Amino acid sequence: METKNTRIELALDNWDDYVNTLTTLSDKQLVKKLDLIHIQSQLALKNNNARSSQLLNIWWKQTVEARILKAENKIPNAPSEIELAIADIETIVAKTKEREKTIDGNLSFQKMHKPKIKEDNSDQISLF
C-alpha cells in the first residue's frame, strides 16, 4: 500500500517531467498507452482498488496532456534506437566515402607529380 502512495506522490511531484517525456512518444504509442490505462482502470474499479484507480487516473491525465501538447506544438517523436543506429551507420558510410575520395585524389596527384629517378649506377660502383 505504501508503494502505491509513493508512486502517486512521484507522479504528482514529477508531473511536468513525465508529460515532457511522454510528448516524445509517437501518437500511436500514446493511444496505446491510453488504451492500456483504460483497461487497467476497469480492473482496478472492479477490484475496488482505490489507490490504483487514483494512480491510473493521474497517468491518464498526464498522457492526455502530453498528447495535446504534442499536437499543439508539433513536437517530433524521439528517434528509436534503430533510427539512431541507422543514422550512425549513414554517417560512417558518408565519412568513409569522403576519405576514399581524399585518398584517391592524393594518389592521383602523387602519380602525376611523381619525381623521376635517374638510373645512374656509376656512383654505386665506386662504393665497392
Q: What is the pLDDT of residues 47-87, one digit of tens each?
A: 999 999 999 999 999 999 999 999 999 888 877 667 667 87
Same domain for 45 and 93, yes or no, is: no
Average pLDDT of the chain, as a whole number: 83
What band does 90 get if pLDDT is binned at 50, 70 and 90?
Answer: confident
Same domain for 54 and 108, yes or no, is: no
CA distance 12 to 104: 61
Same domain for 69 and 105, yes or no, is: no
The predicted pLDDT at position 69 comes to: 94
The residue that leads in pLDDT, 117 or 41, is 41
Same domain for 8 and 69, yes or no, is: yes
Same domain for 59 and 85, yes or no, is: no
pLDDT at 15 over 80: yes
In sequence order, the 6+-apart residues with CB closer than 8 A to the CB of 66 are: 19, 20, 22, 23, 25, 30
pTM above 0.75, yes or no: no
In sequence order, the 6+-apart residues with CB closer than 8 A to the CB of 23 are: 66, 69, 70, 73, 75
CA distance 31 to 63: 9
pLDDT at 22 over 90: yes
Domain that holds residue 46: 2-73
How many domains does one find in the chain?
Answer: 2
* In a domain? residue 125: no
In sequence order, the 6+-apart residues with CB closer than 8 A to the CB of 45 are: 53
The predicted pLDDT at position 103 comes to: 76
Residue 45 in contact with residue 53, Cβ under 8 Å? yes
What are the cell numbers at 45?
Answer: 474499479
The predicted pLDDT at position 93 comes to: 82
- How far, in whole angstroms, is CA 13 from its chain's centroid? 26
Which residue is it, cell 490505462? 37
Calculate mean pLDDT across residues 87-98.
83
* In a domain? residue 19: yes
